[in-house]
Amino acid sequence: MFEDFLSPISSEFQVPYRYTVQFTKGIFHLTNPSLRNFLISEQKEGAIKKALVVLDEGLTLHYPNLMTEIKTYFQGFDSVVQLTGNIMVIPGGEECKNNPILWESLVEAVDTYGIDRHSYIVAIGGGAILDLVGYVAAVSHRGIRLIRIPTTVLSQNDSGVGVKNSINHQGKKNFLGTFAPPVAVFNDLQFLESLDDRDWRSGMAEAIKVSLIKDKDFFHWIESNGYFLQSRNLEKMSYLIHRCAELHIDHIANGDPFEFGSSRPLDFGHWAAHKLEYLTKFSLRHGEAVAIGMALDTVYSYQKDFLPKEDKDRILSLLKKLGFVIYHPELSANAKENLYLGLQEFREHLGGRLTITLLAGIGEPREIHEIDLKILAQSVDFLETYV
């Protein structure tokens, strides 16, 4: 009967994802096999894959021979993977995610050099570069294989090891984006040596964040090693990055990696941070904005009687000990209206009802769905006068 052809057909399936975060030093040294072994392991008989390399311009200032090293490195196994065209060097920092011309130039390169779905885009740089290039890889041909080589503390312990890619649009951070895992991530500790003190410090904010919501012992470790971290001890920083990346990967594997729900448990302190970045025209680094956002949500948690005073004091003390500023005048601007707008934008970004992660203790997250604007204002005022 005709009615038989009107019945719905349902489908349900799962797609497994697997990728490895490797830790190395001097990834393009000829004696370093990490990247070479990975690419050879993916070789298919009779096929030579292509690789388009996109490089953060800032790295060329610190490593003037880097482009030559990359080309020489790939020549050692060009029967497996061949570089296509010139290495693309683009400016890093958040501005690259605001620039549609860069986006177009990368998509055009994918087309010009014939980068297909079995080829690679290799993104080398900080978190903003990885976001932009990852978005290009995810939407070109519905998905090109992405290799990330994060070069900052922030990208090595957070964004570079995750599954998100994005650009900014309509005056909103990460308005356009995808959830698309890389095929591999290589954290090269050598690149951290080129960071200025501000970027070195900025990346630690995400480590504090994940410790506050995931691992009390890790928070204690950061407290105990604050002096060494601030003094640029590479061994201590390598542990911080490894543990932070481990916690992020564990959350991705066992949580809600594509955020089908309305909760963003790894975004403690981020709702205000995203707004602050725009309000300051990105003069604040992401980690600096996150530090302020965490301070705000910490004080709010305390003001709401969720968080003990001792924990509140320890968190604010650690942020200041590591050199973070925990207040910015834009929090109070326009009678705090811009801050309230940030809440609404975060709600839209999540979808569904507002879900904010606060703290019931160090290592003890607590989700709430409403913000008391009066207490939020009091929390801002608290930070303004906090010494």
Distance, CA of 17 to CA of 258 (rounded, Å): 12
- Do you know the residue count of the chain? 387
In the three-class reduction of DSSP (H, G, I as helix; E, B as strand; rest coil), residue 155 is classed as: helix
In the three-class reduction of DSSP (H, G, I as helix; E, B as strand; rest coil), residue 44 is classed as: coil
Distance, CA of 222 to CA of 318 (rounded, Å): 8
Q: Mean pLDDT, consecutive 10-residue segments, the chain of 387 residues?
A: 76 86 96 95 84 96 95 92 92 91 95 94 96 96 96 92 90 88 96 94 95 96 96 96 92 75 70 89 92 97 97 97 95 84 76 84 93 93 91
Percentages helix, strand, coil for the chain, rounded to the nearest 5?
50, 15, 30
What pLDDT does residue 265 have? 59
What pLDDT does residue 349 have? 67
- Ranges of H-type helices in 76-203: 100-112, 127-139, 153-157, 197-202
The distance from CA 31 to its chain's CA centroid, rounded to whole angstroms, is 29
Q: Looking at residue 89, what DSSP letter applies?
A: E
Q: Kind of pairing, strands 356-361 and 49-56?
A: unpaired
What pLDDT does residue 255 have? 72
Nearest Cα to 194, choosing from 22, 21, 25?
25
End-to-end CA distance of the chain: 78
Can you list the domains of the chain with their CATH numbers?
A: 20-194 (3.40.50.1970), 197-385 (1.20.1090.10)
Q: Looking at residue 121, what DSSP letter applies?
A: E
HSE, side-chain direction, 13 A CA sphere, residue 100: 4
What pLDDT does residue 263 have? 52
- Ranges of H-type helices in 304-385: 309-321, 337-350, 373-385
What pLDDT does residue 261 have? 58
